[in-house]
Amino acid sequence: MTIKISETLWRIYNRAARPYPWQLHDGNLPWDDPAFSARMLREHLDESHGAASRQAAERAKQIAWLWDNLGLQPGSRLLDITCGPGLYAVELARRGCHVTGIDFGPAAIGYAQELAAAQGVADRCAFIQQDVRQMALDGAGFDAALLLYGQLAVMPRADAQEVLARAARALRLGGRLCVELLNPEKVDRKESNWWFTDDTGLWGDAPFLHLGERFWLEEEQVSVERYHILHLETGQLDVVELCDQVYRPDEVEGMLRATGFTAVTPHPAWDNLPLYDADEWIVYTAVKN
Ligand SMILES: C[S@@+](CC[C@H](N)C(=O)[O-])C[C@H]1O[C@@H](n2cnc3c(N)ncnc32)[C@H](O)[C@@H]1O
């Protein structure tokens, strides 16, 4: 269906002055949309940037860190929550772990399964396509769980708390969790806007205009990026709002304690691992009690 571009421009002109967090598509990217998921997979595998998954050399450093800090060893049972295309999970399976990965991106999960088979570790990997808020692995007795690249923060606080509770119930007593969240001191609170055009990328493979706005919601402590994507050949408009809840370290500790964890340890900047964006993150490790 073709829509007059002028009509679409009026829709953009009449947009809400400010976004309401978590309203539009749960305040997240449409990861679970098959076409978007297929395009996102290209970004995960694109070694020229680390925006979707970090580049291979950086992942190798993180994996070594996780191995040491989570006490992993061959035979360990590991849960990778929001595993994406399995780039961490499959490597850890290659090292001898038995890994379950969970993610709601269809192309990501499909790729993770193919990668495990190609690396000869399919028998040590299980990948589940599911929203992690519905994760049902109570009593599974995992030795460790990962929740990397800030994905706990792309859901409202109550959902994040629920995911942590489900993770706790999936771990054995003494099992370890690793959660990576934005460092609140490094979050960009400046409001801004930007635009670009392209004819291929995350938003499609035909010419589009991307209009981006960044908001900081002080009361909620949420940063929101709102994108209007105008598809030039059809006049269609996609609107995406990507929300990120910002947590202070004491709030993270409180949530982890409330969901059954102890020995919460923050590791600012991944203990200074040489990652391109290490400074922006705090990795928390905690023990199920
Ligand atoms: C930035 S990617 C990181 C993937 C992987 N951890 C990595 O670093 O390669 C975020 C992933 O979280 C997944 N995700 C986000 N929210 C989710 C949810 N509610 N349930 C399941 N998966 C989710 C997306 O599908 C995507 O694969």
| Model confidence pLDDT, tens digit, residues 15-55 | 999 999 999 999 999 999 999 999 999 999 999 999 999 99
**Is the separation of the CB atoms in 22 and 243 below 8 Å?**
yes
Instruction: Note the pLDDT tens digit of each residue in 238-267.
Output: 999 999 999 999 999 999 999 999 999 999
What's the pLDDT score for residue 264?
Answer: 98
What's the pLDDT score for residue 257?
Answer: 98
The stretch 151-157 carries a mean pLDDT of 97
Burial (Cβ within 10 Å: 0-12, 13-18, ≥19) of residue 227: middle
Spell out which residues line ligand 1, taking CB within 6 angstroms.
Answer: 28, 31, 52-53, 82-84, 87, 103-105, 108, 131-133, 148-149, 151, 154
Whole-angstrom distance, CA of residue 45 vs CA of residue 160: 27
What's the pLDDT score for residue 253?
Answer: 98
Mutational test site, ligand 1, from 82, 111, 127, 276, max ligand atoms within 8 Å of CB = 82
Atom of ligand 1 nearest to the CA of 54: 8
What's the pLDDT score for residue 1?
Answer: 76
Instruction: Note the pLDDT tens digit of each residue in 164-173.
Output: 999 999 999 9
Instruction: Note the pLDDT tens digit of each residue in 167-210.
Output: 999 999 999 999 999 999 999 999 999 999 999 999 999 999 99
- Mean model confidence pLDDT for the chain: 97
**Is the separation of the CB atoms in 167 and 177 below 8 Å?**
yes
What's the pLDDT score for residue 213?
Answer: 98
What's the pLDDT score for residue 155?
Answer: 96
- Residue 2 in this model has a pLDDT that exceeds 90: no
CATH numbers and ranges of domains, the chain: 5-30+188-245 (no CATH), 36-185+247-288 (3.40.50.150)
Mutational test site, ligand 1, from 80, 115, 151, max ligand atoms within 8 Å of CB = 151
pTM of the model: 0.97
